[in-house]
Amino acid sequence: MKAAVFDCHSGIAGDMTIGAFLDAGFDFGLLKREISKLGLHGVRLAARKTRRGILAGTKFEVMIRRSAHGTHTSLADIQNRIQKSRIHPGIKALALKIFRTLAQAEAKVHGTTLSRVMLHEAGAIDAIVDVVGTAAIFHHLALRRIFVRDLSAGGGEVHAGSHGKVGAPSPVTLELLKGFPVTFVANPHEMVTPTGAAILAALAERTTGPVALEVE
């Protein structure tokens, strides 16, 4: 059985998740082939080595032609796009679970139903790529258990689509992080995005203690 440990001392976002796996050796060509099965137009993927302070890593980017941009959509629209794509059923199932988890949190926070909730930033094309890409990586690596440790969240404000500015972490992110051991640090930036939180809420195990690592 394969497991992964998310060491999120710098937070988590969809693009950060994919960048971490690419940096760990996941095949970027395979990722691009899987994303291409969504049939998106005007989208280009890039991965480049970068540095943050003394640390090196891989930056994953989704570049979208201006005419292809989208900002919000319904859960049903996203489900329909994924279901109609040519991606593997196992990848579809993981991606749909992430989006449904996110939509449930959005519905609760905004006092509405799944059929009426609108996904704002998460409905954008880059967020769809992040979620499906993460699902593809999990599927191809055959990951069965996901653990989280050192999950840090910052502060400040974040633009929440048509809702305007809200405090960070956003109410949706906080709803998704329930049950996870979160440390709030003095960083005036959004460190955990709704997409990143939804990935953890849908696929990771909630644990209150440290994760023991065995190195062979």
* pLDDT tens, residue by residue, 28-83: 999 999 999 999 888 999 999 999 889 899 999 999 887 655 555 889 999 999 99
Cβ(184)–Cβ(116) under 8 Å?
A: no
Q: Is the pLDDT of residue 89 over 60?
A: yes
Per-residue pLDDT at 53: 87
Side-chain-side CA neighbours of 180 within 13 Å: the count stands at: 31
Global pTM value:
0.89
Distance CA 4, CA 89 (A): 22
Cβ neighbours of residue 33 under 8 Å, at least 6 residues apart? none
Q: Is the pLDDT of residue 212 over 80?
A: no
Q: Is the pLDDT of residue 165 over 50?
A: yes
Q: Which residues on adjacent β-strands are paired with residue 184?
A: 153
Segment 22-28 shows an average pLDDT of 97
In terms of Cα–Cα distance, which of 144, 145, 147 is closest to 207?
147
Distance CA 3, CA 147 (A): 8
3-state secondary structure of 9: coil
